[in-house]
Structure 1
Amino acid sequence: MSESLKKNADFQKVYKTGKSYANKYLVMYIINNGLKGNRIGISVSKKVGNSVVRHRVTRLIRESYRLNKQHLKTGFDIVVIARNSANGKGYNEISGAFMHLSSLHKIKM
């Protein structure tokens, strides 16, 4: 089971109380959610690019999570923020950045 974070209040809670790590392309905030599965929220600001670019980056991040979720521990709210440098990057760079942050947060099994 994995859902997405949709409410602004959920995002704010993760930002305020979560721990964050960043790399070249992404920033990742994580808190325990006390549930059986993970919930993921993705934020891509207008600074990254126009709507086409932002949606593409969002899809790449979501796909990185979907294909790697069997390697991640469960019970976390995860918020991933794309940085400007994520614009124009391919799946391999984004996925590598996602897994790098997962291992820094020690949620990678």
Structure 2
Amino acid sequence: MKKEERIRKNKHFRLIYSRGKSYSDDILVVYIFKNKSNINRLGISVSKKIGKSVVRNRVKRLIREAFRVNKDKFKVGYDIIFVARSKSAKSNFHEIEKSIFNVLKKAGILKEGI
């Protein structure tokens, strides 16, 4: 992912948590906040409750890759934060990808016809 497509600063995370809308399923929680640009920015949060660093980094890689592969199917102009739930530690790529589609469909971010 490009540098401008990432959310990294704590103040940006806190802004999106406080002003954004949240949607969830059993694997992921997503916070959505409209930004004023023509790109989507992605942030990922995986708590230490999920597991040790190997597990947390694997979950982050899976979420990042599932988002990257499908990013042309999402509407642009949003800041999106994915928060992993404990079930994500035992999930594979396809389950995480399905969960991303599920929560973004609830949020209304999917493009028409998908």
| TM-score grouping bracket, smaller chain normalisation | over 0.9
Alignment of 1:1-109 (within 5 A): 3-109=5-111
TM-score by length of 2: 0.93
Q: Deviations over 1:2-54 (max 9, x none)?
A: 61100000000000000001101000000101111000000000000000000
Q: Deviations over 1:43-71 (max 9, x none)?
A: 00000000000000000000110011000
Q: Which one has a larger percent strand, Structure 1 or Structure 2? A: 1
Question: Aligned equivalents of 2:66 and 2:30: distance in 1?
Answer: 13
Misfit runs of 4+, over 2 Å: none
Tell me the TM-score normalized by structure 1.
0.97
Q: For structure 2, which runs of at least 5 residues remain unmatched after alignment?
A: none
Task: For residue 87 of structure 1, give the secondary structure of its aligned residue in structure 2.
Answer: helix
Name the Cα RMSD after superposition: 1.0
- Measured after TM superposition, the shift of residue 88 of structure 1 is 1.8
Distance 1:12 1:82 in 2: 17
For residues 81 and 35 of structure 1, the distance between their equivalents in structure 2, rounded to whole angstroms, comes to 23
Query: Aligned pairs, how many?
Result: 109
